[in-house]
Amino acid sequence: MKSEILALLRQRGDFVSGQELCERFQVSRTAVWKAVGQLKKEGYEIQAVQNKGYLLTDGGEFFGQNELESRMATRWAGHPLTYYETIGSTNLQAKMDAENGAPQGALVVADMQTAGRGRRGRSWNSPPGTNVYFTLLLKPDFSPDQAAMLTPVMALAVAEGIRRTCGLTPGIKWPNDVLIGDKKVCGILAELSVEQDFIHYVVIGVGINVGLQEFPPEVAPKAACLQQECGRRVDRAQLVADVMDAFEAYYQVFLESGDLSGLAGQYNSLLVNVDREVKVLDPKGEWSGISHGITPTGELRVERADGVETLVYAGEVSVRGRNGYV
């Protein structure tokens, strides 16, 4: 009930009577008073005035279970939501939750990770009180070969969430790095449990650099944070809610076609290296060409020097700009 009270007080932006809260949530005045008291202990500034009710005032940023739940406006994505102040990895926790019967849409959010991971097992810097780390659980009814298309869907959702929350216009570096300018602000890692032609579940982990921070030397030249780029504090809970709202919509488009055909145009409009020379770092040998965007199934179309177009598949292949990361 605390998250629902927060959502109503925030939405109203004015005093809400205790009687209205009692009737809305079918509880006693004592229960409302206790819930408001608990929110105050958590740091929320809530005025209680006789004959007027309760008023939520701006007391700074909050990032926790009640705050996150109060921001969610989705039908299924982000429900249920579990918040951890500290966790090893949101992906690992989401996989354990899936094995224990958690439903599609379950979301694991953490303030800090001690064992965050990126692509190819690289560590992901996860300091507390600064960034956004979450993993969404999906239980799709489609073939395993379609699962690779979910990371571009999430990349689009993150880009849209950043646009809504921060007013910035992100770009995407194929297949799923989200950038501001030429620097990375978000990484995405999808993992799945599969048996023959059946997907048990997919977990999609997202790490977004939000607050001002010092990056490790090895990533500092190509990393950025949202606060630095937009010049103000970013509401992390609202960012998570906006990403979930966008993902729910984009995922529905994906399900209707079974591929990225309904999203490819939007994706390609954000692709930072479209119609530019790229280097394809293939274990079989590095080569260069001109990127022409993605196919409906997510492969990158790259035109070689001889005019032949090659489809580049995500996985162990990386794509870089001619002179660096982008």
**H helices present in 50-191, as ranges:** 65-71, 90-99, 150-166
Q: Quick one: 18 and 80 in the same domain?
A: no
CATH number of the domain at 20, please.
1.10.10.10
What is the value of pTM for the model shown? 0.90
Q: Quick one: 260 and 279 in the same domain?
A: no
Q: Quick one: 293 and 281 in the same domain?
A: yes
Q: Which domain holds residue 107?
A: 65-269
For residue 326, tell me if it sits in a domain: no
Of 139, 131, 100, nearest to 113 by C-alpha is 131
Last residue of a domain, one of 230, 246, 269: 269
Q: Quick one: 32 and 133 in the same domain?
A: no
Last residue of a domain, one of 39, 57, 75: 57
Q: Quick one: 229 and 280 in the same domain?
A: no
Question: What is the count of structural domains for the chain?
Answer: 3
Q: Quick one: 165 and 39 in the same domain?
A: no
Of 276, 277, 144, nearest to 201 by C-alpha is 144
- Tell me the pLDDT tens digit for each residue of 110-153: 999 988 765 545 555 567 889 999 999 999 999 999 999 999 99
Segment (H or E) for 15:
none
Question: Taking 90 as the threshold, does the pLDDT of residue 318 lie above it?
Answer: no
CATH number of the domain at 300, please.
2.30.30.100
- Tell me the pLDDT tens digit for each residue of 73-115: 999 999 999 999 999 999 999 999 999 999 999 999 999 998 8
* Mean pLDDT score of the chain: 91
Please list, in sequence order, all residues whose beta carbon lies within 8 angstroms of the beta carbon of residue 302, skipping any fewer than 6 positions away.
Answer: 278, 280, 289, 290, 291, 292, 309, 310, 311, 312, 319
